[in-house]
Amino acid sequence: MSLPEGYGYIPSSLMTIGWVLFWQSILVGKYRKRAGIEYPQLYAEKAEVKDSNAALRFNCVQRAHQNTLESAPLVFVSTVVAGLKYPALAAAMCVAYSFARIFYTVGYKSGQPKRRLYGYYVSSLSVLGLLSTATYAAYQFLPPC
């Protein structure tokens, strides 16, 4: 089996997720320090959030990063599989996901979690598109009955 023309877009698109995660991890460290949340505590406690906007914003940034980590494996696998048949489409959806995660994070880190929704909807549509395209591509690889 050979890779389709344009498959080179796939690794490039996947690297955008790595850069988003790297940027998010820097934000988590910055907001952790501002809030005074010591390691290994993953999130600020409810009482800390109630008393401190910095603790709330830390939790929001931490959650944005964690949520991206939760969806990244699905995006990676779907991009690789979809790219075997539709490399340009798969790469475009992967990059759309990454850009949407930036908007998601910027909205979330405001301390007003509802501001994450624009990025959430766009990234969710990207994931749905990737998953659907990957499923169809996988189906096309099945031997005829």
CATH of the domain at 108: 1.20.120.550
Q: Is 1 among the domain residues?
A: no
Q: Is 3 among the domain residues?
A: no
Q: Is 49 among the domain residues?
A: yes
Q: Is 112 among the domain residues?
A: yes
**Number of structural domains, the chain?**
1
- Cβ 16 vs Cβ 79: under 8 Å: no
- Cβ 93 vs Cβ 76: under 8 Å: no
- Cβ 131 vs Cβ 78: under 8 Å: yes
- List, for residues 7-59, the tens digit of each pLDDT value: 999 999 999 999 999 999 999 999 999 999 999 999 999 999 999 999 999 99
State which residues form the domain around 125: 9-139
Q: Is 50 among the domain residues?
A: yes
Q: Is the pLDDT of residue 2 over 90?
A: no
Whether the full predicted model's pTM is greater than 0.75, yes or no, is: yes
SS3 string of 41-63? Answer: CCCCCHHHHHHCHHHHHHHHHHH
Q: Is 23 among the domain residues?
A: yes
Q: Is 145 among the domain residues?
A: no
- List, for residues 36-45, the tens digit of each pLDDT value: 999 999 999 9
